[in-house]
Amino acid sequence: MGAVILFSLLAACGNTTDSAQTSNSILNPTKVSPNGPKDIGGGPNYGGILILANRGDPPAAFDSTRTSSIALHHIGGGLFGPGNLVKRCPKNMYIVCPSLARHWESNSAFTEWTFTIRDDAVWHDGVSFTAEDAKFWYDISHFGVRVGEKRRAPAYFKGDLGVVERTEVLSGNRLRIVLKQPAPRLLEVLANPRLKIAQPKHLMEPRIENGELSIAPLDIGLVGTGPFSFKAYEKGSLVQVRKFDDYWERDGQARSLPYLDGIDFVIMPNAAAMDAAFRTGRLDGGGRGEGHYLTAERMRGYDNDLGEDVFYTEIQGGIFRLAFNVLSSGPWQDVRIRRAMSLWINKQSAIPAALGGFGYISPILGPNNPFTSQDFTNWPRFNRGSLLENRDEALRLMAEAGFPDGFVMGHLCRARLAVRCEFLHSELAGLKIDLKLKLVDEAEWNRGRISLEYDSQQGAHTTSPVPEGTESVFGQFHSNPDAYSKHEDEKVRAYYNRLRTAYSRRQRVSIWRELEQYIVLEQAYVVPIAGSIQVVPYRTYVKGLVIPPEDGHTHTDFTTIWLER
C-alpha cells in the first residue's frame, strides 16, 4: 500500500497545472506572481544574498513546538526545512511530498505508519539525520519529557500527531509510529509547515537528561537540516542564514539547491518602516504576517514610487474572528450571548475597515475549500441581506439572557492589529457591550493567547486547510492551549476522533460540516468575521518564488529563489 501511495503522490507533484491550486487574483494580474514556481527560463543564476523584511524577532527562542508565529516560520523554513518527514508539494500544496522521509507505508487499519528516512539528510553540524532523530522529535512533541520532578510539556500541536501509543526505530533507518486510533489522513496533517524538526537528538537529549528541560533551538546554535544554516542573530535587528552546501534537495534538472548564497532577514516590527525600506531600495521583498501584508492604500504608494519595478504575491489568509474563553466566568458563557454577538457584527464592513480592503467571507476554511459547507452564504450570520433582521434577533437574545443593557468583556488585543480590535469595540458597542481592549506586544500575545487570563481574543490567524489539522485551534483547551476558544467540550473532541478515523472523503466532508456548524452556529464558540488576502511585495528581479494559494507559512524554504541582476 505504501508504495502505491508514494507513487501517486510523486506523480501528482509533477502536475504544474492542477486546478486545485489556481485562484482568481484580486489584484492587477500583470503585477501578481503566479502561484507556484516562476518560469526560470535560461536561469537560474546562482549566488547573491536576498534581503527580506521579517515582522519581528522569532519568539520562543525559535522553538516551533511552542509557537506557530510567522515571525519564526518565515525564517524557519530555510533553517529547518519546509516540513518534517513530509511536506506540502511545491507545485501543489494540497498534495503530500517526501521530505526527510523518502518513503512511507501504513498497515491496512492506518494504525501503524512506517517512514524510511533518507540517507543523505545532514544536520548543519555535519551529523547525519536518522530515524533516531525523527523518533526523538515525535516523542518530545507528543509525550513531552519528564526528568525527576521536572516536566517538559508536549508541543502545542500534540493533537495533530495522532493518538500515539509508541514510536519505534526499525532497521533500515526507519521510524514506526503506532497509534491507538486509525489515522488515514496522518500524512496531510503532518505536512503542515508549522510542524518543523528543530531538535537534534545528539545536541538536545544530553542537556534535557541533565535537567535543561526548557532547552530551545537557539540554545544549541539553531542547528537544522534546512537549505540554509545559521550565521548570525542580532535581536531586534537581523537574522542571517547562509547556503548549506550539504543540503540534500535537487531541482528538476538535478542541480543543487538552494540557488541563493543566503538570506538576510531584517527585523522590522513597524510596517511603515518596511514600506520605506522597500521603496528606497533596501529590501528585495516584504515580510509575511498580519500587520505587514499590504493594504490597498499602502499598495498604491508602492505603485506610485516603483511602477514596474515591483510585483505582488497574494495568498488567501486566515479568518479575522472573535473567540470566547468560556472557561472564564461571565455572560459569554451563555450561548445566547455568543450568538447575539455573532448576529450583530457586520462582517462585510470588516473588509475595508479592518482588513485593509482585501478580503472574503467564509466560516472557518476558505470559501473554495471543498470541505466548507456549500450553503454557508445562506446561514443567518453570513447572509448579507439579513443584517437588520439579524440585529433584531441579537437584541432579543441579549434581553432574553438578562443583559439588555450589555456588560463589560475583556479582549486580548495584539497591538500590531489594533485596528481589528477597534472594529470589534465599535461593532459590539451597538449591543452595549463594553469591550475592554488589552493591547499587548508580541511577547505577551504569544504567552497570553495560550492562557485563561483573557475573556476573549482573536487567536492566531491562519487555520490548516486540512480539517484533521484544525484540532490545535478548535479543540479542548487542556490538550490544545493555542485553541482560539477556550473550552472543554467533549462533543468537539468526539467530532475530531470521528474525523481522524474516517476513511472516505465523503465521510470526512460530512463530519467536518457537522463540526463547522456546531462550532460556528450551534455553540458560537468562535465568531468568524472575514478572511484576509495577504499581499507581499517583491522586486521584479526576484525570480523562482513558490507562492502558496493559501497559508503564508507554506513554502518558506526559498530554495528556488534566484536574483536576476
Output the pLDDT for position 391.
96
Output the pLDDT for position 25.
54
Q: What's the Cα-to-Cα distance from 268 to each of 78, 299, 545, rounded to whole Å? A: 19, 18, 22
Output the pLDDT for position 42.
60
Question: Over pLDDT 70: what percentage of the chain?
Answer: 92
Question: Over pLDDT 90: what percentage of the chain?
Answer: 84
Taking only the tens place, the pLDDT of each residue in 460-493 is: 767 888 899 899 999 999 999 999 999 999 999 9
Model confidence band, residue 26 (pLDDT cutoffs 50, 70, 90): low
Output the pLDDT for position 311.
98
In this prediction, residues 259-284 reach a mean pLDDT of 98
Which residue, 95, 144, 105, is CA-closest to 479?
A: 144
Output the pLDDT for position 4.
34
Residue 468 DSSP SS3: helix
Cα 505 to its chain centre, rounded Å, is 23
Output the pLDDT for position 5.
37
Model confidence band, residue 35 (pLDDT cutoffs 50, 70, 90): very low
CB 64 within 8 A of CB 76: yes
Neighbour tally for 509: CB within 10 Å: 17
Grid cell digits, residue 506 = 465523503
Contacts of 37 (CB under 8 A, 6+ apart): 16, 90, 91, 544, 545, 546, 560
Output the pLDDT for position 10.
38
Which residue, 192, 419, 155, 173, is CA-closest to 295?
A: 419
Output the pLDDT for position 27.
56
Mean confidence (pLDDT) of the chain = 92
Output the pLDDT for position 386.
86
In this prediction, residues 113-124 reach a mean pLDDT of 99
Contacts of 210 (CB under 8 A, 6+ apart): none
CATH topology of domain 316-532: Dipeptide-binding Protein; domain 3 (3.10.105)
pTM above 0.95?
no
Is the predicted pLDDT of residue 258 greater than 90, yes or no? yes
Domain with CATH 3.10.105.10 in the chain: 316-532
Is the predicted pLDDT of residue 30 greater than 60, yes or no? no
- H-run or E-run covering 515: helix 505-517
Grid cell digits, residue 24 = 482568481
Is the predicted pLDDT of residue 43 greater than 80, yes or no? no
Output the pLDDT for position 503.
87
Taking only the tens place, the pLDDT of each residue in 222-241 is: 999 999 999 999 999 999 99
Model confidence band, residue 32 (pLDDT cutoffs 50, 70, 90): low
Grid cell digits, residue 340 = 447575539
Output the pLDDT for position 194.
95
Among 16-20, 21-25, 104-108, whose mean pLDDT is lowest?
16-20
Taking only the tens place, the pLDDT of each residue in 298-349 is: 999 999 999 999 999 999 998 999 999 999 999 999 999 999 999 999 999 9
In this prediction, residues 516-541 reach a mean pLDDT of 96
Model confidence band, residue 374 (pLDDT cutoffs 50, 70, 90): confident
Say how many CA atoms lie within 13 Å of 311 toward its Cβ. 15
Put residue 172 in one of left, alpha, beta given phi > 0 → left and psi -120 to 50 → alpha.
left
Output the pLDDT for position 461.
63
CATH topology of domain 2-284+541-563: D-Maltodextrin-Binding Protein; domain 2 (3.40.190)
Considering 173-182, 379-388, 467-476, the range whose residues carry the highest mean pLDDT is: 173-182
Report which of residues 39 and 155 the model is more confident about.
Answer: 155
Domain with CATH 3.40.190.10 in the chain: 2-284+541-563
Model confidence band, residue 28 (pLDDT cutoffs 50, 70, 90): low
How many residues in the chain?
565
Output the pLDDT for position 318.
86
Output the pLDDT for position 2.
40
> How far apart are the C-alpha atoms of 431 and 198, rounded to whole Å?
47
> How far apart are the C-alpha atoms of 345 and 215, rounded to whole Å?
43
Side chain identity at residue 405, one-letter code: D
Collect contacts of 347-353 with beta carbons under 8 A, ≥24 apart. Answer: 347/381, 347/382, 347/528, 347/529, 347/530, 348/384, 348/530, 350/320, 350/420, 350/423, 350/529, 350/530, 351/530, 353/419, 353/423
Model confidence band, residue 1 (pLDDT cutoffs 50, 70, 90): very low
Phi, psi angle pair for 344, to nearest 5°: -75, -40
In this prediction, residues 438-465 reach a mean pLDDT of 90
Q: What's the Cα-to-Cα distance from 508 to each of 52, 387, 496, 500, rounded to whole Å? A: 39, 32, 10, 9
